[in-house]
Amino acid sequence: MSEALRIPAEPEVARRDPLTELLPPLLPAEVNDNEARPVPREGERRGFEIPAGIWAAMIACYAVFLAALLGATGGARAGFMIAISALYVAMFFGLSRVMLRHAPAQPRSPLDRAGGRLQTFYGPLGRGEVIAQMLVVPMAIAFFGIAILVIRLAVA
């Protein structure tokens, strides 16, 4: 066979890919993924990191609210609805407790130490700041229940 038939007329045009000029070069991460052992993955290890006293204060605020509602309504007609609300509050806090018991042991809160700070997404917070942020809504709800009770007693 003649030499002209074996060699393409324009070897540069036949081998050149037009996308190589437009795309950046791709480099493989590894030669073979099966040769390198993957690093074991571990999930995020974060606990509640809130002292038990704050949880107790939240529960107390909701108990004050429900007790004030029970006292303001007389308990006869609204007692069933208040009991259902109490069950929901118990489920909310009880589920957190059950989840904590099934999880690995949690370290003590950094707020339990003197001068301890809780790391948050927006920066470290001191004990007073954490208490203020976590208890502002439960305390407002407790004061709302007390206000309803005071109004009911003033009207009656």
For residues 109 and 118, the answer to whether their CB atoms sit within 8 Å is yes
The rounded distance, in Å, linking the Cα atoms of 58 and 135 is 7
Q: What is the DSSP string of 51-119?
A: -HHHHHHHHHHHHHHHHHHHHHH-STTTHHHHHHHHHHHHHHHHHHHHHHHHSPPPPPPGGGSTT--EE
The rounded distance, in Å, linking the Cα atoms of 156 and 154 is 6
Q: Per-residue confidence of the chain (156 residues) as pLDDT tens digits?
A: 555 555 555 555 555 666 667 777 766 665 555 666 667 776 666 666 788 888 899 999 999 999 999 999 887 788 899 999 999 999 999 998 888 788 777 777 777 777 788 877 888 888 888 889 999 999 999 999 999 999 999 997
State the pLDDT at residue 77: 80
What is the pTM for the complete model shown? 0.64
Extents of the domains making up the chain: 52-155
